[in-house]
Structure 1
Amino acid sequence: MSHQVVLRPQNIVFSVQQGQTVLEAALNQNIVFPHRCQVGACAACLCRIESGQVSYQLEPLLTEKEKEQGWMFSCLAYAESDLVITFSDE
């Protein structure tokens, strides 16, 4: 099973396969996506979910406020539905 991800505002669309993180999927499809460590330590891949759901095998270090605002670590996030994400904090 796969889910579709839309990266806004560029409206870049890519798919994420089951068992693949959002970051892995983007990089495997040659999508430019900020990252460094790929283990949730550097926060370079931090982005905000506008719609959709993700799950984590290892819960990232996000504050309750960040979780409420929809922030996610794409290197640790597994898509549980289609997603719309952005790097903007607006």
Structure 2
Amino acid sequence: MHQVRLLPHDITFTADERETVLQAALNAGVAFPNRCQVGACAMCLCRKLSGEISYQLEPMLTEKEQAEGWIFTCQATAKSDLVLELD
């Protein structure tokens, strides 16, 4: 289990490596924006400030977007504690 801290709301929840970050947030009762849950609508897009994630399938993000820390939480699983920023 990994701790996920969501800024600027300062909400913390736990994520298991077998569930996506979005699933973990929703299971914890966090009102995380989402619609399609397959990485097509970009509603769950947020910025990873620290930590490590992995994807089962590579996301539809440019190299620049990935370098800036953008992640699709509906596709990402936590591999360490995370700090995320959701505007």
Scaled to the shorter chain, the TM-score interval is: over 0.9
Which residue of structure 1 aligns with residue 53 of structure 2? Answer: 54
2:56 aligned partner, one-letter code:
Q
Deviations 1:40-85 (A, max 9, x none): 0000000000000100001110001100000000000000100000
Q: How does 1:23-42 map to 2 (within 5 A)?
A: 23-42=22-41
4+ long deviations beyond 4 Å: none
Report the aligned-residue RMSD.
0.6
Within a 5 Å distance, the mapping from 1:1-90 to structure 2 comes to 2-88=1-87
User: Percent of counterpart pairs with the same letter?
Assistant: 59
User: What is the one-letter code of the residue matched to 1:14?
Assistant: F
SS of alignment partner, residue 46 of structure 2: strand
Q: Gaps (5+ residues) in structure 1?
A: none
Structure 2 unaligned residues grouped into runs of 5+: none
TM-score, structure 2 as length reference: 0.97
Matched residue pairs, number? 87
**How high is the TM-score relative to the length of structure 1?**
0.94
Offset from partner CA, 1:7-55 (integer Å, 9 cap, x none): 0011100000121100000001110101000000000000000000100
